[in-house]
């Protein structure tokens, strides 16, 4: 029997999306990933002061704001030909890493855990699905305690962002030209103390909890699978010049890997609510107008592709590229890789705190050129982030953003080929269509951020000259 199951809204994601699956013979034979809200950030950026871009684009996303600030600062620095001082680079890495700790801990406990753990029988945990929870009672109860503890720990991660940027989310600490809080002993000591507590939680609670879930739900190493097609932009520059990254950028296809070339990125809009003008575009080539309710469209997310193919980024891609985790590409692999990366980040941050030099500059003043273009690429919590900025007469005249969740949650491309989440869902066995727990678990393994995915308006011209 053929049957269509719609999950709308997909909750426990950053803002909400929609997944439609067609089930036949107990398996998903077709699916569509969609999203139904739209904001138009790139248009709003036109005419603004280029220095405002980091703070303004942070407002795209409440859970990964530091990533947008970073990409915008990179774009403006590339445009102006400046680089931050050594301290500035380290401090910005610390801010983005602390925001990532916050994101990973909240993703695991607040968004993913309720798929596997029977949460308390009261709102906001009810109503919920009744089947599919199989952790032993004691483990289940322990994880509920950790769920609430995780909220206090993730707040501590945001307090680190606050210490270096005045507030979180939307901290002020990442600006083009560097950072803003000098790393004196008081600041470094406070950060080390907070980091130590977070690390204790990650090692003592989060990693064992991730293992417990993996052990109880081993079939998820076989579900949500995709072929190995991973893409990652560089994350955390190892030097202010951004020659090396702690997590280097790379394209991986099965056993072949190569450098990232931004000119190979195109965006498809046939199945998105945008006017279609000819072939798929490179970011910054033309400016399709939004067209709500377009026939054949089913999403506000466009379909970014690399060399015409769907790629996946995020913690699993980063650990794969650096050779730290290569078990497979499945729902549970994504969850485990995110937990391992959280632990890894604690170590890196400890090292960066050691490298800070008190009384050395954190910011370099610079003139914003009246004309020019800048591309900012960075890895982020859940994948890859691209900001492109063109400045004319001292003002932003075009801005492009391609977010991680646009890659993951994209609809079909112009040739009808599925996006990564759609690929991951095809073939999934669904036991009870009334309670499609399998679908939600796979979707959430990507750490969905619909808020990021749907801001997009393409504009500007080709970015061919930028090779990463």
Smaller CB distance to other proteins: residue 196 or 218? 196
Smaller CB distance to other proteins: residue 9 or 369? 9
Residue 422 Cβ vs other proteins, minimum distance, rounded to whole Å: 18
Smaller CB distance to other proteins: residue 39 or 461? 39
| Residues forming a β-bridge with 247 | 235
Euclidean distance between CA atoms 380 and 63, whole angstroms: 11
Smaller CB distance to other proteins: residue 157 or 329? 157
Residue 132 Cβ vs other proteins, minimum distance, rounded to whole Å: 12
Euclidean distance between CA atoms 317 and 99, whole angstroms: 19
**Phi and psi for 426 in degrees, rounded to 5?**
-60, 130
Euclidean distance between CA atoms 296 and 123, whole angstroms: 38
Non-local (6+) Cβ contacts of 154 within 8 A are: 101, 102, 105, 106, 109
- Residue labelled with tokens 């009870």: 432
Smaller CB distance to other proteins: residue 36 or 466? 36
Residue 369 Cβ vs other proteins, minimum distance, rounded to whole Å: 15
**Helix axis angle, 137-165 relative to 185-201, nearest 10°?**
160
Residue 250 Cβ vs other proteins, minimum distance, rounded to whole Å: 29
Non-local (6+) Cβ contacts of 39 within 8 A are: 454, 455
Smaller CB distance to other proteins: residue 74 or 340? 74
Residue 4 Cβ vs other proteins, minimum distance, rounded to whole Å: 12
Which of 198, 221, 5 is CA-nearest to residue 94? 198
Q: How far is CA 129 from the centre of its chain?
A: 27
Smaller CB distance to other proteins: residue 18 or 199? 18
Residue 155 Cβ vs other proteins, minimum distance, rounded to whole Å: 5
Residue 11 Cβ vs other proteins, minimum distance, rounded to whole Å: 4
Smaller CB distance to other proteins: residue 283 or 440? 440
Residue 270 Cβ vs other proteins, minimum distance, rounded to whole Å: 19
Which of 245, 79, 59, 97 is CA-nearest to residue 179? 97
Smaller CB distance to other proteins: residue 35 or 319? 35
Smaller CB distance to other proteins: residue 156 or 344? 156
Euclidean distance between CA atoms 166 and 435, whole angstroms: 44
Residue 102 Cβ vs other proteins, minimum distance, rounded to whole Å: 8
- Residue labelled with tokens 């273009």: 373
Residue 162 Cβ vs other proteins, minimum distance, rounded to whole Å: 4
Cβ atoms 273, 300 nearer than 8 A: yes
Q: What is the DSSP letter of 262?
A: G
Q: Work out the end-to-end distance of the chain between its first and last CA atoms, rounded to an integer number of angstroms.
A: 49
What are the structure tokens assigned to 424, written together? 């991951």
Buried b (16+ CB within 10 A) or exposed e, 356-373: beeeeebbeebebeeebb
Smaller CB distance to other proteins: residue 124 or 278? 124
Residue 72 Cβ vs other proteins, minimum distance, rounded to whole Å: 12
Q: How far is CA 354 from the centre of its chain?
A: 27
Euclidean distance between CA atoms 429 and 48, whole angstroms: 50
Euclidean distance between CA atoms 155 and 146, whole angstroms: 14
Whether a cis peptide bond, with omega within 30° of 0, leads into 452 is no
Q: What three-state secondary structure class fits 22?
A: strand
């Amino acid at each position: 029997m053929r049957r269509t199951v719609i999950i709308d809204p997909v909750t426990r994601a950053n803002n909400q999306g929609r997944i439609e699956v067609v089930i036949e013979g107990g398996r998903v034979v077709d699916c569509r990933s969609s999203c139904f809200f739209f904001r138009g950030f790139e248009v709003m950026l036109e005419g603004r002061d280029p220095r405002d871009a980091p703070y303004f684009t942070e407002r795209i996303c409440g859970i990964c704001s530091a990533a947008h600030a970073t990409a915008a600062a990179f774009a403006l620095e590339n445009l102006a030909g400046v680089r931050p001082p050594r301290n500035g680079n380290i401090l910005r890495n610390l801010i983005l890493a602390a925001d990532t700790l916050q994101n990973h801990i909240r993703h695991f406990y607040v968004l993913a855990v309720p798929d596997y753990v029977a949460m308390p029988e009261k709102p906001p945990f009810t109503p919920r699905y009744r089947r599919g929870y199989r952790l032993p009672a004691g483990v289940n109860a322990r994880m509920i305690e950790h769920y609430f503890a995780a909220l206090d720990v993730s707040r501590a991660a945001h307090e680190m962002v606050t210490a270096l940027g005045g507030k979180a989310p939307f901290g002020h600490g990442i600006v083009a030209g560097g950072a803003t809080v000098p790393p004196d002993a008081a600041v470094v000591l406070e950060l080390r103390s907070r980091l130590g507590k977070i690390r204790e939680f990650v090692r003592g609670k989060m990693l064992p909890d991730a293992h417990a879930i993996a052990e109880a739900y081993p079939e998820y190493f076989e579900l949500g699978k995709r072929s190995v097609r991973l893409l990652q932009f560089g994350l955390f520059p190892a030097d202010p010049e951004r020659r090396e990254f702690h997590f280097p950028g790379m394209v991986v296809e099965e056993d072949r890997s190569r450098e990232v070339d931004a000119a190979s990125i195109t965006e498809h809009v046939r199945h998105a609510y945008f006017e279609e003008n000819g072939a798929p575009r490179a970011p910054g080539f033309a400016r399709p107008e939004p067209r709500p309710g377009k026939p054949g469209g089913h999403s506000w997310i466009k379909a970014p592709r690399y060399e015409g193919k769907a790629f996946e980024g995020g913690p699993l891609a980063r650990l794969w590229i650096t050779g730290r985790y290569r078990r497979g590409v499945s729902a549970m692999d994504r969850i485990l890789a995110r937990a391992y990366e959280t632990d890894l980040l604690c170590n890196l941050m400890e090292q960066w705190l050691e490298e800070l030099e008190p009384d050395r500059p954190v910011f370099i003043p610079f003139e914003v050129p009246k004309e020019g273009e800048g591309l900012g690429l960075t890895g982020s919590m859940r994948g890859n982030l691209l900001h492109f900025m063109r400045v004319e007469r001292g003002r932003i005249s075009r801005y492009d953003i391609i977010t991680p969740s646009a890659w993951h949650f994209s609809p079909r491309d112009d040739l009808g080929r599925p996006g990564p989440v759609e690929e991951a869902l095809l073939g999934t066995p669904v036991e009870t269509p009334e309670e499609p727990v399998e679908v939600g678990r796979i979707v959430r393994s990507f750490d969905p951020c619909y808020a990021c995915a749907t801001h997009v308006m393409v504009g500007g011209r080709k970015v061919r000259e930028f090779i990463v």
